[in-house]
Amino acid sequence: MIVLLCLGATAAAFVFLCQVRAGPVSWLRSYAVQRSARSAACILPAQRVAGSYQVDPVQHVGDYLVVAVTAQCNQAGRPRQSVEGYSALDSTSGEGCSGTGSFTPVATPAGGSVLVEQVSSATCGDAQGAVSLVTGQVSGSAATAIEVQFANDAVAGGPIQNGRFVVVAPVYSAVCLVRVLDADGALLASHRNSTPPGPAQSLGACP
């Protein structure tokens, strides 16, 4: 009887997974990419501060599943650190990458000046198939959206939420220009990158 109940529960779980968009394999890959990002958020011996871990919805961009996270990390003898991380998984090959970096949260006081406080980017894949993730901090309450221009002239965008933005695009190219927009699409501020000589040139050069 117990065996039958276990088999019934297993079958019900499988049916549920099959009803998830794209089926159980997609669900498991989504779980795997979230778990990878969570593990990378605070590297041992640092520990996550309880309640500080925030995860964005998983995005399916091109062949990749991508998730971005933020957290605060404590480590003995060091100041508390705010970190942001990401994990990307190629849903066709099963290969992926992840990374983390520190950032300083910015305040967005009403009527304050709009400034691009920080921009960071990462690329997973190669010229045959890749995904780029661009994150950053923007001050100023009037800023509502971000627009990113790449060296290959591709453009991608996304919202600004609580002073932070995350833009994910199926692009293998360097980030050249970040524009900050208001609710009407008017330009409020911008940040331009230049590509120094070196390995980054493989992603294209910015003017």
Please tell me whether residues 110 and 196 are part of one structural domain.
yes
96 domain residue, yes or no = no
Q: What is the model's pLDDT at position 8?
A: 41
Domain with 111 in it: what CATH number?
2.60.40.10
Please tell me whether residues 164 and 199 are part of one structural domain.
yes
Asked which of 69, 91, 113 is the last residue of a domain, the reply is: 91
Which structural domain range is residue 3 located in? 1-91
Asked which of 91, 112, 145 is the last residue of a domain, the reply is: 91
Please tell me whether residues 186 and 129 are part of one structural domain.
yes
Q: What is the model's pLDDT at position 78?
A: 92
175 domain residue, yes or no = yes
Q: What is the model's pLDDT at position 198?
A: 53
Please tell me whether residues 19 and 47 are part of one structural domain.
yes
Please tell me whether residues 121 and 195 are part of one structural domain.
yes
Q: Provide the whole-model pTM.
A: 0.79
97 domain residue, yes or no = no
Q: Which residues of the chain have pLDDT under 50?
A: 1-22
Q: What is the model's pLDDT at position 200?
A: 52
Please tell me whether residues 49 and 117 are part of one structural domain.
no
| DSSP sequence for 6-24 | HHHHHHHHHHHHHHSTTHH
For 16-47, what is each residue's pLDDT tens digit?
333 344 455 677 888 888 888 888 788 889 99
Asked which of 43, 66, 91 is the last residue of a domain, the reply is: 91
98 domain residue, yes or no = no
Q: What is the model's pLDDT at position 125?
A: 92
Long-range contact pairs involving 160-164 (C-beta distance under 8 Å, separation at least 24): 162/108, 163/105, 163/106, 163/107, 163/108, 163/117, 163/137, 163/138, 163/139, 164/70, 164/105, 164/135, 164/136, 164/137, 164/138
Domain count, the chain: 2
